[in-house]
Amino acid sequence: MCKKYRTLMNHYQKAGYYAYAITGVVAAISWTPAQAATATATVDANIIQAIGMTTNNGLSFGDISAGATSGTVIFTPGGASSATGGTTINSSAPGNPASFNVQGTPNASFSISLPISVLLTDAASHSMTVDNFTSSPTPSGVLDGSGQQTLFVGATLNVSANQAFGSYSGQMTVTVGYN
């Protein structure tokens, strides 16, 4: 065979090899599996009214007399009060439970978080502790058809024996959130 012929044949063989290789790549790129499937799903969101709360009035234990022994004053969310030990409640200033107005999405349920304890102090740094907080409703509530609910909070005031005379106060935090 002549050198020119061999060169020409090599050229055609290489060209054929490249054409075969390119055809294989194109076939691989355009091949899709016979069992492919797709599906669609909806995506949605629901914007609700933020829950809110305002204070109608704070928790007041009223006027109390401290005796020679320690005692407690208990205020229920429903407004009933009682005294134990050496304390007595002055009937002319009996106090009241705290009251809050909760507002939000109509008919939604909400949870209630109450403080564990609150420290009350007077101007002379004497103190008393309030604990055993309870609420009505409890432990959760449901807003009415207009998105309203009144929340009442009571607690227990711990009075030491011969507690110093004075006006005591502190702050409590009540939190509500949608369930």
Domain count, the chain: 1
Strands 127-136 and 148-159 turn out to be antiparallel
Q: How is residue 60 annotated by DSSP?
A: B
Decide if 33 is inside a domain: no
Q: Which domain holds residue 128?
A: 52-178
Residue 114 within any structural domain of the chain: yes
Task: Supply the pTM of this predicted model.
Answer: 0.76
- Domain presence at residue 30: no
Looking at residue 136, its pLDDT comes to: 98
Q: Cα separations (Å) of 113 from 4, 109, 151, 154?
A: 96, 14, 12, 13
Any residues with CB less than 8 A from the CB of 44 and at least 6 apart, and which? Answer: none
ω into residue 139 within 30 of 0, thus cis? yes
Contact by Cβ (8 Å): 130, 158 = yes
Residue 25 lies inside a defined structural domain of this protein: no
- Determine the Cα–Cα distance for residues 135 and 139; give it in Å rounded to an integer: 7
75 lies in some domain: yes
Instruction: State the pLDDT at residue 22.
Output: 54
pLDDT of residue 34: 76
Please report whether residue 154 resides in a domain. yes
Instruction: Name which of 134, 131, 150 is nearest 142 in CA terms.
Output: 150
Q: Tally the C-alpha atoms within 13 A of residue 65's C-alpha that lie toward its C-beta.
A: 8
pLDDT averaged over consecutive 10-residue blocks of the chain (179 residues)? 56 54 53 81 93 97 95 96 95 91 97 98 97 97 98 98 96 97
Q: Domain for residue 37, yes or no?
A: no
The verdict on residue 132 lying in a domain is yes
